[in-house]
Amino acid sequence: MEKKEKNDKSKSILEILPPELIQRILLRVPVRHLARLRCVSKLWCSLISDPNFAEFHFHHSSASTNSCFFIKYSSMVHFVYFDDNDASQKEMCPPFNNEPLPNFAVLGSCRGIIVLHRHPHFFVVWNPLTGFSKRISYSHLLPSRKYHGIRLPSLHGFGYDASQDDYLLLVAWNHWERQYNLDCLSLRTNSWINLDAALSKPLGVFDRFSCGLFLNGAIHWLSFALTTYKDAILIFDMKERTFSMMSAPEQLVMISCNFSGLALLGGCLALYYQNLHSCNTDIWVMKEYKVHSSWNLYQIPCKDFQPLCLSSNGDIIGRGCSWYDKVGYFIYNVREDLLNRFENLCCPNPNRATVTVYTESLLPLPSDVEDKKKEEGNRPSESE
């Protein structure tokens, strides 16, 4: 009996707990810590590196963290993590940063995958948590379309097509005749698709510095100049590869709007702008997607406020500028109408840099998974 107890004590936790229970425990760990836990053992590395585990953790983990990022000094990526009333930050060097005078711009983020524009003619696809990166050239598109002077696409958006398990990067190029040409990059097939035929009429004017907002299988853009509430939001359906329009709230006073944009708050589409009459930021939240009567108004006592996410209590977290011209990150208590500032965080001026919401994940690109399967299939077996 004593010998048995002694042997049990000498066993490691990996021998006592079954893999199924270890997996359930790992699902409760914040995703940013999982990358380090892969070093614990071969079993943990195998469990955490499994694409099915990454997908399940992304959708069902209760240990989620709100975060955002922005490009600092054109060559560094600065991440900020919000945990209700607390926050932290870190810097990372983006991939392919070893060339002279690197110049990066953000094109979008979806499911933990970030797309950067790398001057002159490259896109960089990057998962900061796993370290996976890919450089994609689009220089072959330029000669035939007179884009020689263009550094960034005039319109861009990045999202996920669940029906094909594919990430799509949509770019609209505005050439010298001031007409748009649309191209779509499939990251599953690593191929470009021309979408000019999907446009039933010319595009309006949209903010080239604003990333398209991905929601409900579609990318959304807000008109740069809100002159009317009708057809203010352009929508691209990822599955159908078609465009449609959505109206803004009818109560929105167009002449009072400034610095407008779209955001995702608690899974709902939100439209925000600086109200020049009240010097506040008005945020309209669509509680039910594409139900026009479900728009609800929130007024934030902060100018140039960019809503980023919601806390676990439903408070609105964002980047803004206070009455004393202090730029920073703020949290607005919706119930008590209180605005508090996160201290000691690096925050760019709203007029100089775009802050993009980022959800960390261990998800790989579909093409990366297929490449690994091919490599494993080509390896000789132990019996050979």
Check whether residue 45 and residue 110 sit in a common domain: no
Q: What is the pLDDT of residues 290-348, one digit of tens each?
A: 999 999 999 998 878 999 999 888 999 999 887 666 789 999 998 888 889 998 888 88
Non-local CB neighbours of 210 within 8 Å, separated by 6+ positions: 221, 222, 261, 262, 354
pLDDT at residue 369, rounded to an integer: 55
Domain presence at residue 23: yes
Check whether residue 32 and residue 115 sit in a common domain: no
pLDDT at residue 75, rounded to an integer: 79
pLDDT at residue 267, rounded to an integer: 92
Check whether residue 19 and residue 129 sit in a common domain: no
pLDDT at residue 381, rounded to an integer: 47
**Residue of 313, 155, 339 lying closest to 243 (CA atoms):** 155
Check whether residue 30 and residue 110 sit in a common domain: no
Buried b (16+ CB within 10 A) or exposed e, 297-321: ebebbbbbbbbbbbbeeebbbbbbb
Check whether residue 90 and residue 134 sit in a common domain: yes
Q: What is the pLDDT of residues 113-133, one digit of tens each?
A: 999 988 777 899 999 988 899
Domain presence at residue 379: no
Domain limit, last residue, from 38, 58, 78:
58
CA atoms within 13 A on the CB side of 240: 12
Phi and psi, residue 82, nearest 5°: -110, 130
pLDDT at residue 226, rounded to an integer: 65
Check whether residue 235 and residue 352 sit in a common domain: yes
pLDDT at residue 86, rounded to an integer: 83
Phi and psi, residue 97, nearest 5°: -105, 10
pLDDT at residue 32, rounded to an integer: 80
pLDDT at residue 215, rounded to an integer: 96
Q: What is the spatial distance between Cα 78 and Cα 69, in angstroms, rounded to a whole number?
A: 5
Sheet-wide strand order for 303-310:
303-310, 316-321, 327-333, 338-341
How many domains is the chain built from?
2
Ranges of the chain with pLDDT below 50: 1, 6, 145-151, 381-384
Structural domain containing residue 181 = 63-364
Domain presence at residue 9: no
Q: What is the spatial distance between Cα 183 and Cα 188, in angstroms, rounded to a whole number?
A: 15
Give the amino acid at 164: Q
Check whether residue 149 and residue 48 sit in a common domain: no
CATH of the domain at 251: 2.120.10.80
Query: What does the angle CA 267 – CA 269 – CA 274 come to, to the nearest 5 degrees?
Result: 130
Check whether residue 68 and residue 34 sit in a common domain: no
